Amino acid sequence: MIRNFRMSKRLKQAALAGDLGVTQAMISRWENGDSEPPERIKRRMAELVQDAFVIAPAPTWVDLVSLNPTIEFVTDSMGMIKAISLGALDLFGIKRNEIEGRNVRDFLGGDFSAALEQLRAEGMFQNNLAFAQSIGTMEVNVSAGMQSLLCDFIHWPRISEARTVYCIHSGATLDEKRYSARLEERGDKVVVRRTF
């Protein structure tokens, strides 16, 4: 509960420790299950959690994408990147403000770009697809230079509060052996599942 609360509020362990009057090391031990907090801390955490529900909403799906340690990002129908995960930022070697709000085509190419065009043509942004899978090369063009990665992605539409359809792209890098096995299993680089 402590870790979930802290992550939802984007608090560092030291900040929460200051509020609770304990050390950062104690927060770490509690979060890892190495020890249990005393009753006074449990009561204070219950107050913080209750206040958080009253004051602030739970993290949005965009917030959760941003915190994800794997490769994940969100694009709109024009290819603009709305959110990108910590894992993708690490893999690409780029800062959030350098990529969010920019077009995905500025950074990613290869089979991945072709898959995005196919998804657009198949109706991903009209909510005609339940989800899609793609596998192939993803060329990453960042300040460190061009990288070519073998990736497996799942793409699914998400409707925002403003009724705009976005696409969440969630993927993993593959070695040659896994890539070949998955491609053979699927039979095609892009597989779509329609909503109707």
44-87 pLDDT per residue, tens:
887 777 665 444 444 577 777 888 889 999 999 999 999 999 99
Report angle CA 94, 95, 96 to the nearest 5 degrees: 125
Q: Look at residues 37, 55, 73 and tell me which one is the last residue of a structural domain.
A: 55
Residues 149 and 112 in one domain: yes
Residues 133 and 161 in one domain: yes
* Secondary structure of residue 4 in the 3-state scheme: helix
CA 91 to chain centre: 13
The number of distinct structural domains making up the chain is: 2
Residues 165 and 132 in one domain: yes
Pick the most confident of 13-17, 112-116, 160-164.
112-116
Domain that holds residue 151: 61-194
Q: What is the pLDDT of residue 149?
A: 92
CATH of the domain at 35: 1.10.260.40
Residues 39 and 68 in one domain: no
Residues 65 and 34 in one domain: no
Residues 116 and 158 in one domain: yes
Q: What is the pLDDT of residue 54?
A: 43
Residues 104 and 48 in one domain: no
Residues 137 and 170 in one domain: yes
pTM beyond 0.75: the answer is no
Residues 97 and 22 in one domain: no
Residues 92 and 29 in one domain: no
Q: What is the pLDDT of residue 196?
A: 59
Condensed to tens digits (0 to 9), the pLDDT of residues 79-104 reads 999 999 999 999 888 899 999 999 99
d(CA 160, CA 175): 35
Quick count: other Cβ atoms within 10 Å of Cβ 69?
Answer: 10
CATH of the domain at 112: 3.30.450.20
On whether the CB atoms of residues 174 and 71 are closer than 8 A, the answer is no
The pairs formed by 78-84 with CB atoms below 8 angstroms and a separation of 24 or more are 78/103, 79/103, 79/104, 79/105, 79/116, 80/104, 81/107, 82/166
Residues 47 and 101 in one domain: no
Residues 66 and 116 in one domain: yes
What six digits make up the tokens of 44? 């204070």
Q: Look at residues 36, 55, 74 and tell me which one is the last residue of a structural domain.
A: 55
d(CA 131, CA 195): 8
